[in-house]
């Protein structure tokens, strides 16, 4: 049974979000640490403080579906859009909706927040806390003039920032050693697993689906991949007659198998043509990154190898570890088949998705070469239509989600520019229904 501290899971994801650009290194964890410290100064209750910290941990996630340029930490050209995009994306996870509301307002000024309906003001106030915490970390990284920082915060009080929040921030950054020790203190920052933070397999799967959508949102060529692999791997697992108790883990492993691709340059993921040797090394590094990230999450002892070893091959010619035959768990072999099947069925920058017969022909050759497990591929041959239909349905649902997300972001951005109330976010569920 999967049981995790939600903070550990979100922290693992924050690490890979930071991989999108080297200048973001540890940015989200530092902002979360600052926000938590401000929450303590403002005497927030534990639940509100935890939600604040969790939101801060992924506050800039909206830049990913926007394909925003991340050369600037503050994303000045897309502040409003990436806040709305992050809200709409995170709101698709029904157990992260309170945090999503905070993200929605994490670049809103205090003057704007005062005009909001009363029911929106509390999450918006927490969003203002994230806004100021973000500004503090950016200043420390780019300027590091404590006196100037205090003046900037004070100058923004009542207009950009809540006067109460600004006052707490001035007190915080004026503490001896606080700014100098920010990196060290944030690295050891952790939320203890209180009752509201302990999540079990159903909620873990919801979070994994959310993270998979973020991973796949980087490119239209990967927008349906993780979902297709996860559903196909779980179907093959069931066909293999493996224990029911691990079905959630194989599904989560499929959703997160490519989490390391967050650290791969987008131009390589979308290259129209064969990769050069050095480019292939960069792309193949994603499997090792996936393993490192997933292994660092307590409770993912099975998920890490089952997901990250999807490029290991029985003949020892795979990566990241070059494992051979019995060194590769059966679940990882299932994942490898699900990954190849899904990738060949999808459109890529250099080709259209292949037919079922073409996919199976290529995979049969991979079995003959000692790359894929023939017994696993036999399950596909024995259930051809069902296996391919499972993948097709999963990819179609993921495609509809991203199409709806794109429309919602455009509509919310247009409404924000005209001062109209943004529409409520709509989640597209696993069964294709909307709530």
pLDDT tens for each residue of 233-247: 999 999 999 999 999
- Tell me the CATH class for 3-187: mainly alpha
Adjacent-strand bridge partners of 200:
3
What per-residue confidence (pLDDT) applies to 289? 94
Half-sphere exposure of 182 (CA within 13 A, CB side): 27
Is residue 25 within 8 Å of 215, Cβ to Cβ?
Answer: no
Adjacent-strand bridge partners of 17:
none
What per-residue confidence (pLDDT) applies to 1? 78
State which residues of the chain have pLDDT below 70.
Answer: 22-23, 67-78, 419-435
CB atoms near residue 203 (< 10 Å):
19
What per-residue confidence (pLDDT) applies to 65? 74
Largest CA distance in the chain: 70
* pLDDT tens string 380-419: 999 999 999 999 999 999 999 988 888 898 888 888 777 6
What per-residue confidence (pLDDT) applies to 67? 58
For residue 193, give every residue at least 6 positions away whose Cβ sits within 8 Å of its Cβ, in sequence order, or none.
Answer: 5, 7
Dist. CA 435–CA 420, nearest whole Å: 22
What per-residue confidence (pLDDT) applies to 181? 93
Dist. CA 126–CA 109, nearest whole Å: 12
Domain(s) labelled CATH 1.10.3210.10 in the chain stretch across: 3-187, 218-396
Dist. CA 334–CA 42, nearest whole Å: 50
CB atoms near residue 106 (< 10 Å):
29
Dist. CA 201–CA 337, nearest whole Å: 24
CATH 3.10.20.440 fits 218-396, yes or no: no
Dist. CA 262–CA 134, nearest whole Å: 21
Supply φ then ψ for residue 200, to 5 degrees. -110, -175
Is residue 24 within 8 Å of 317, Cβ to Cβ?
Answer: no
What's the predicted TM-score (pTM) here? 0.90
């Amino acid at each position: 049974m999967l049981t995790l501290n939600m903070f550990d899971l979100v922290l693992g994801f924050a690490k890979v979000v930071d991989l999108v650009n080297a200048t973001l290194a540890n940015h989200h964890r530092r902002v979360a640490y600052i926000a938590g410290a401000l929450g303590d100064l403002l005497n927030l209750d534990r639940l509100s403080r935890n939600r604040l910290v969790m939101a801060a941990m992924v506050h800039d996630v909206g830049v990913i579906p926007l394909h925003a340029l991340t050369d600037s930490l503050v994303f000045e050209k897309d502040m409003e859009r990436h806040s709305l995009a992050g809200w709409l994306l995170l709101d698709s996870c029904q157990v992260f909706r309170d945090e999503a509301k905070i993200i929605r307002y994490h670049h809103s000024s205090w003057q704007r927040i005062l005009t909001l309906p009363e029911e929106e003001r509390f999450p918006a106030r927490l969003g203002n806390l994230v806004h100021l915490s973000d500004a503090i970390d950016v200043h420390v990284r780019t300027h590091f003039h404590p006196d100037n920082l205090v003046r900037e915060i004070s100058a923004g009080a009542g207009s950009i920032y809540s006067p109460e929040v600004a006052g707490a921030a001035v007190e915080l950054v004026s503490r001896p050693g606080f700014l100098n020790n920010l990196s060290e203190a944030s690295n050891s920052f952790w939320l203890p697993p209180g009752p509201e933070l302990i999540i079990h397999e159903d909620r873990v799967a919801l979070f994994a689906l959310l993270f998979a959508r973020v991973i796949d949102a980087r490119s239209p060529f990967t927008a349906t991949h993780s979902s297709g692999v996860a559903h196909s791997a779980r179907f093959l697992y069931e066909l293999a007659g493996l224990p029911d108790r691990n079905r959630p883990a194989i599904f989560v492993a499929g959703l997160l198998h490519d989490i390391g691709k967050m650290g791969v340059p987008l131009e390589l993921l979308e290259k129209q043509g064969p990769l050069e040797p050095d480019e292939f090394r960069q792309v193949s590094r994603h499997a090792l990154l996936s393993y490192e990230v997933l292994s660092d999450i307590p409770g993912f002892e099975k998920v890490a190898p089952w997901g990250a070893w999807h490029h290991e091959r029985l003949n020892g010619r795979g990566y990241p570890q070059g494992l051979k035959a019995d060194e590769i768990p059966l679940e990882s072999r299932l994942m490898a088949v699900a990954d190849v099947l899904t990738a060949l069925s999808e459109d890529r920058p250099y080709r259209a998705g292949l037919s079922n017969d073409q996919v199976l022909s290529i995979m049969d050759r991979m079995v003959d070469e000692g790359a894929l497990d023939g017994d696993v591929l036999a399950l596909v041959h024995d259930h051809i239509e069902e296996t391919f239909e499972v993948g097709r349905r999963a990819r179609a649902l993921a495609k509809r989600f991203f199409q709806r997300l794109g429309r919602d972001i455009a509509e919310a951005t247009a409404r924000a520019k005209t001062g109209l109330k943004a529409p409520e976010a709509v989640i597209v569920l696993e069964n294709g229904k909307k709530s």
